[in-house]
Chains A and B, each alone.
Chain A
Amino acid sequence: NAGVTQTPKFQVLKTGQSMTLQCAQDMNHEYMSWYRQDPGMGLRLIHYSVGAGITDQGEVPNGYNVSRSTTEDFPLRLLSAAPSQTSVYFCASSYSTGTDQPQHFGDGTRLSIL
């Protein structure tokens, strides 16, 4: 049971390049979220999904795009990378909205944009 798997673990981009951060979970979780973590800022919600085909914006969605074509996968796209998007990105998933159901996090993608 792999849990939440994020790839790549590290990436360096140039300003203006595009890329997709991959997130996959094998726990049949309906709910998935993307957060970014910056020093001294905690984690901030970018986008989330409550099931295949359904996504919505979080606190800091600008510059990011998501889709959810399957239950397992929730990729995050940077269309035109900017230095302000240098961050550590975490994907998370949960089985239901019940408060006894923990949100499982991946180990993150560390992204640097030059």
Chain B
Amino acid sequence: QQQVKQSPQSLIVQKGGISIINCAYENTAFDYFPWYQQFPGKGPALLIAIRPDVSEKKEGRFTISFNKSAKQFSLHIMDSQPGDSATYFCAGGISNYKLTFGKGTLLTVNP
């Protein structure tokens, strides 16, 4: 079973700080690496995604850094806000409908 390992399990950051969540994957056939954000009682929502031919992708305060040789990727949330408090999941897949998810990181941003 191909895994995606995610760390940390939980993260507490002060408002305005940088939140960093890391993931590592095993399956070198994966060519799609999304990050999902989930609020309590809701389904996951796509935050940002990257393909392995790109080392970094930025959308607003959210950046994915990708290291193909190390089989690792990370999510950076700049200027973290209390509204960013949620559970974040990384995932990998060959296609966008057959994803292998990490176990999630509960982010708390204190005001």
Q: Which residues on A are within 8 Å of B, measured CB to CB? A: 4, 31-33, 35, 40-45, 48, 50, 58-59, 90, 92, 94, 97-99, 101-103, 105-108
Contacts and interface: CB of A to CB of B under 8 A. Distances in A.
A45 B51 contact: no
B99 A103 contact: yes
Interface of B: 1, 4, 6, 9, 31-32, 34, 36, 41-46, 49, 51, 89, 91, 95-104
A98 B96 contact: yes
Nearest to A31: B97
B96 A99 contact: yes
A97 B44 contact: no
B103 A59 contact: no
A45 B51 CA distance: 21
A77 B49 CA distance: 31
B97 A32 contact: yes
Given A42-B104, A43-B101, A59-B1, A103 B42 contact: no
B102 A42 contact: yes
Contact of A107 (B9, B42, B46): B42
Nearest to B32: A99
Nearest to B44: A105
A33 B97 CA distance: 6
Nearest to A93: B97
A86 B99 CA distance: 21
Contacts of A108: 41-43
